[in-house]
Structure 1
């Protein structure tokens, strides 16, 4: 069976789930039923250990070639096939695997303000009870230690937002005409125009899909003593769960996850003080990104007038956080 014709490769927490759903509505496109198979993230079986909840995520990788190809077996004749794994952009080895397997693939890249992306990423895992640090600034400061300890990419709040480095490498492997780069804000503010831009890039009919499904985001539990206790219990259950069958592991953690979301408030926006402390992590890379793309991203280094995007309140969405599947 052929491999996919196109891939949405990044970035996590940048609307890739909503985009995947929108593209699946186009009659000329067939999207994999598993939104995020992660096939190109490894040369064989994925790791079995990592940070909190990572073991369950690794179990869900579609890493066998025959299983990956089977995801596209139901595609109607004449349709283009695609999948969405937003970690491919960050993983330079994955970029090389894609180049070796499907050198003619068209690649879609969604870029979100890296500070907002990091905050959304942290909120996702905090809400799930997996993130032990209740402040995004302090959590970002732990990144090097977590990487050395083998925590999965979804914990790399800062690294995932270094788009300049990632695109610079990608353009050594693929010609620019095979790569479409656009901003997350475009999908939020101008969905019909942005979708048509993607459809033209893929060579299919425009004007067919004009809306992007609204994707919910996680709620934000208060950092109470009860939250800390439940979170600690969930992390222990997740750790034990890696030795159990997947179904048993989920049955062990799901009740705790539901409890965490009870009476939780909506996701809280970044404060300017937090943003000011996080911007320096990305200043150099934003300059590189502007050089690589020829576009202006200097607004990412200033205060934001608003936040949010494809929003809603997700009272039970923490399971997606545990599994590393970004929802916004």
Structure 2
């Protein structure tokens, strides 16, 4: 059956887009042309409402089985097929759906310092004009209400970083030898060795690819009165144009995004005070992660 042999299952804002692009250059692998189909996130059609921009995102889900299988039709015979939906690790129901459909699948998870991941997640949506709260600490504090209101998983800044809970569930469904854990810093700083680890895990030739491109790099967008005006236009447009064709939506939003992200200044790091306020969301789960994996992630508890 034309289903994937491997999946990059997480985490968002941990280099999965770049990793997908890097692996796609390997002649022995086949990566889906739609990088993030999200097929296993639902049993049927995705929701139609949620937070700002969610209606547009839900329309992009490849949720019909025939459409999902068609993503892998062009794979050469014998080539391992893969896709990259970084929300699968966070969604425990998605994990179960994967196990039921492709129990022999190999799963790759990239884990990033959860505080840094949450900040990058917030910065991504802020720079896209969708996040209405101009401070990541206050945005994380609003998460519980947003979850109750049905906002999509990408708004779960802290929930997406609870890797201990997520992996504890995943290891109940899949044997350890089918799961490869990577650290974001290795994907970023040691691309060649990381790609060789993945290729060995997937059973294809090592030493063939050694580059992971920079993808989804978020610019710094200052919180100013002008920024707020442009963001309000983008959020209004996401509601009004949520059901418009994707090319039309992109064309309409492009000039406003260019204005918002002009200059492409590097994203500013969290202050020590912000990091200290966000760490309590993750401290217990980091301890669980170390227990579940037997690996040391204590550096994530340190100040920066």
Q: Normalized against structure 1, the TM-score is what?
A: 0.90
Structure 1: which 4+ aligned runs deviate by more than 6 Å? none
**Per-residue CA shift, 1:73-113, capped at 9, x if unaligned?**
11111211000000000000000000010000000010000
CA distance in 1, matches of 2:42, 2:216: 29
Match of 2:16 in 1: 16
Asked if residue 218 in structure 1 is aligned to residue 218 in structure 2, the reply is yes
**Per-residue CA shift, 1:269-299, capped at 9, x if unaligned?**
1111111110010000000000000011110
- Superposition pairs of residues 227-238 of structure 1, within 5 angstroms: 227-238=227-238
Match of 1:298 in 2: 298
- Superposition pairs of residues 1-328 of structure 1, within 5 angstroms: 1-263=1-263, 265-304=265-304
Give the SS at the match of 1:89.
Answer: coil
Shift of residue 234, structure 1, vs aligned partner: 1.0
- RMSD between aligned alpha carbons? 1.2
- The answer as to whether partners of 1:49 and 1:55 remain within 8 angstroms in 2 is yes
Shift of residue 189, structure 1, vs aligned partner: 2.1
CA distance in 2, matches of 1:266, 1:246: 28
CA distance in 2, matches of 1:125, 1:171: 31
Give the SS at the match of 2:40.
Answer: helix
Match of 1:317 in 2: none
CA distance in 1, matches of 2:248, 2:268: 33
Give the SS at the match of 1:58.
Answer: helix
Match of 1:314 in 2: none
Unaligned runs of 5+ in 2: none
CA distance in 2, matches of 1:290, 1:17: 26
Give the SS at the match of 1:171.
Answer: helix
- The answer as to whether partners of 1:222 and 1:264 remain within 8 angstroms in 2 is no
Give the SS at the match of 2:3.
Answer: coil
Shift of residue 243, structure 1, vs aligned partner: 4.3
- The answer as to whether partners of 1:111 and 1:163 remain within 8 angstroms in 2 is yes
Does the C-alpha gap of structure 1 residues 263 and 288 become closer, same or farther in structure 2, counting only changes over 3 Å?
same
- The answer as to whether partners of 2:9 and 2:88 remain within 8 angstroms in 1 is yes
- The answer as to whether partners of 2:56 and 2:243 remain within 8 angstroms in 1 is no
Shift of residue 265, structure 1, vs aligned partner: 2.6
- The answer as to whether partners of 2:55 and 2:243 remain within 8 angstroms in 1 is no
**Per-residue CA shift, 1:156-205, capped at 9, x if unaligned?**
00000000000000011101110001111111222111111111111111
Give the SS at the match of 2:107.
Answer: strand
Shift of residue 117, structure 1, vs aligned partner: 0.3
Shift of residue 264, structure 1, vs aligned partner: 5.1
- The answer as to whether partners of 2:112 and 2:183 remain within 8 angstroms in 1 is yes
CA distance in 1, matches of 2:244, 2:120: 30
Give the SS at the match of 2:173.
Answer: coil
- The answer as to whether partners of 2:14 and 2:112 remain within 8 angstroms in 1 is yes
Shift of residue 263, structure 1, vs aligned partner: 3.6
Greater shift in the superposed pair: 131-140 or 258-267: 258-267
- How many residues are treated as equivalent by the alignment? 304
- The answer as to whether partners of 2:219 and 2:266 remain within 8 angstroms in 1 is yes
CA distance in 1, matches of 2:178, 2:108: 9
